Chains A and B, each alone.
Chain A
Amino acid sequence: DIQMTQSPSSLSASVGDRVTITCRAGQAIDTYLNWYQQKPGEAPNLLIYAASSLQSEVPSRFSGSGSGTDFTLTITSLQPEDFATYYCQQTYTTPRTFGQGTRVEIK
């Protein structure tokens, strides 16, 4: 299995802040890396696919970058509705695997 490691596990930030979350794959996965947002009691929601492509209807303050083993999710100007848990996922091979999640909390 490909291990996915996110950092940090949690962070505190204020509305308007720029937030960066990183994800490292245990082996090279090209750009087969996706980012999801999950709010309490809800299913995950796809934000970014193929490392840097913005899913339809997702605000442009979300962006992704990276290839190979190192990836980044950036949220410019954090909004109140962005406080949630974020997961990276590889779709390079099966079994699909996820990072452990990064919880973004209000400072």
Chain B
Amino acid sequence: QVQLQESGPGLVKPSQTLSLTCTVSGDSIISFFYSWNWLRQPAGKGLEWIGRVYSSGSTNYNPSLKSRLTMSVDTSKNQFSLRLSSVTAADTAVYYCARDSERVARAMDVWGQGTTVTVSS
């Protein structure tokens, strides 16, 4: 059974770079069927899609964050990563990694448990 687990600092200072990693277990990250997504959810609010990366390294980003975003994949470690630069308090949220699958019309069928990131000095 495939599982995703986010990891990274829970506290980031304003203007610095937020870096998170998602480790995939139970299946290979290399697949034509899947892409690997990051989403976030501020406390008490809805879900925002940040972007996705394929195992080839190809990416799609949310235009609202594109200028600050970098996503990458490390197939040797079965991991994918998010870097968000120049963070502000508005970037404080629970960050989720999730798999989307062609088998379910690109819906997100596997999610990590989420990790809380607070931007504060």
Hey, which bits of chain A sit against chain B, CB under 8 A? Answer: 1, 31-32, 34, 36, 42-46, 49-50, 53, 55, 87, 89, 91, 94-101
Contact yes or no, A98 B104, CB < 8 A: no
Interface centre among A31, A43, A98, A101 (most CB of B within 10 A): A43
Question: Which residues of B have CB within 8 Å of A49?
Answer: 104-105, 107, 109
Question: Which residues of B have CB within 8 Å of A97?
Answer: 49
Contact yes or no, B105 A91, CB < 8 A: yes
Bound-complex Cα distance A38 to B49 (A): 16
Hey, which bits of chain B sit against chain A, CB under 8 A? Answer: 37, 46-49, 51-52, 60-64, 96, 98, 100, 104-109, 111-114
Contact yes or no, B107 A101, CB < 8 A: no
Contact yes or no, A50 B47, CB < 8 A: no
- Shortest CB–CB separation between residue A63 and chain B, in angstroms? 16
Contact yes or no, B111 A44, CB < 8 A: yes
